Amino acid sequence: MSALEQVDSAINFPALQPPHRYLFGPGPTMVHPRVYEALSKPIVGHLDPYFIQVMMDCQQLLKTAYGTEAGATLVISGTGSAGMEAAVVNFVEPGTKIAIFANGYFSDRLTEMAKRNGAEVVRFEKAWGETYTDDEAREFIRREKPKVVGYVHAETSTGALQPGNAICAAAHEAGALVIADCVTSLGGVPVEFDRTGMDIAYSCTQKGLSCPPGLSPMAMSPRAMEWLRGRTTPSRSWYLDLKLIHDYATVSHRYHHTAPISMFYALREALLVVADEGIEKRWERHRRCHQLFVKGIEAMGLSMHVPEEHRITTLNTVCVPKGIDEAKVRKRLLDGPGIEIAGGFGPLAGKVFRIGVMGPLATEDNVRFFLSEFGKALKAEGYGQ
């Protein structure tokens, strides 16, 4: 094909018209209209004083979302996995012993990143969807005496919420830093960074913050910052070097990388939406909708994968009824009302539906709408007949 023919072919591409979806999956979730409006604003340069202020606004607003006063907050240009990798490459040096609470897909990803960084990894294994008691956490850390401890606060693959107080207390007793994965909790579930005792936490923009994917908000305790400043060996990743990023974002504002300007606009507005609602009111709204969701699920004769006391209120794992093909149910929802949900994977493949109720969709009307359509799709596949 000639260059002219290629141009003619490109002219024939249709305008973007994405289908309307109700994003009831584990992420990405629905974007708040104010965030879409912020994305449309003209960009400035990544060293422009206006953009520097936008970055600093995000850092300040994140303190409320994370629940930290003394900690430092940063935004990484990359998805939640970039935040995970930044946590590993900056605080886990080659040869460092890291203890990981392994009970789902994302603790496995954390393990893989630590191994690739040359760490000595020890794991406390549990089945996907199970959590750790305070005594189990303390015994594991006291036995292994690691330099770093990693756990997933809200495990996207299972719907299980892991309390971190005992983990953090035992880690600090051992002189270790704590890395917490808050990808699915920030903005919808209490993180309480300071109160829990986390040292390094990372998240994403496309779940509880109701923003498009593309950034990873992080928080670091004074202990973590002191450790980072005292590190004498360079991070194996230049792009994710938190010393360099912190200097660019908060100190000298010298060029480090070309930040995605529009995504920072979007995050700033998303955090303002959270602030306008009030973080505690937002948590309560998600909790009420979760309770309504579970009540409706149980009324259908279905059950939840995770025990009540350990469920993530923004992400529900519903057990697939015997004899039902979950992929066909999901296809009916997508092809019909345009509802997107996810299935399980790994050990939970074919066994659970993963259903998010976050952000703009976390209202009683939307939950009832979903339950009605979900019930119809299940019935069409033979459930309850």
Quick one: pLDDT at residue 14?
85
| Residues in CB range of 346: below 8 A, 6 or more apart | 105, 128, 157
Q: Which residues contact 147 (CB under 8 A, 6 or more apart)?
A: 96, 97, 98, 175, 176, 177
Q: For residue 295, what pLDDT band results from cuts at 50, 70 and 90?
A: very high
List C-alpha distances in Å: 304 to 54, 216, 261, 376. 41, 30, 40, 19
Decide if pLDDT at 331 tops 80.
yes
Q: What is the mean pLDDT of residues 114-133?
A: 98
pLDDT on residue 121? 98
- Over 90: is that where the pLDDT of 269 sits? yes
Task: Give the CATH number of domain 22-28+278-380; options: 3.90.1150.10, 3.60.15.10, 3.90.105.10, 3.40.50.10490.
Answer: 3.90.1150.10
pLDDT in tens, 298-322: 999 999 999 999 999 999 999 999 9
Q: What confidence tier does 385 reach under pLDDT thresholds 50, 70, 90? A: low
Q: For the domain made up of 33-275, give the CATH fold.
A: Aspartate Aminotransferase; domain 2 (3.40.640)
Q: What is the pLDDT of residue 13?
A: 82
Convert the pLDDT of each residue in 4-44 to its tens digit. 556 556 667 888 999 999 999 999 999 999 999 999 999 99
- Enter the pTM of the model: 0.95
Residue with tokens 């009030």: 278
Q: Please report, for the chain, the start and end positions of each structural domain, with discontinuous segments joined by +.
A: 22-28+278-380, 33-275
Any idea what the Cα angle at residue 239 is, between residues 95 and 74, rounded to 5°? 95
What would the mean pLDDT of 260-271 be, rounded to a whole number? 98
Q: What is the 3-state secondary structure (H, E, C) of 158-196?
A: CCEECCCHHHHHHHHHCCCEEEEECCCCCCCCCCCHHHH
CB 242 within 8 A of CB 235: yes
pLDDT above 90 covers a percentage of the chain that reads: 95
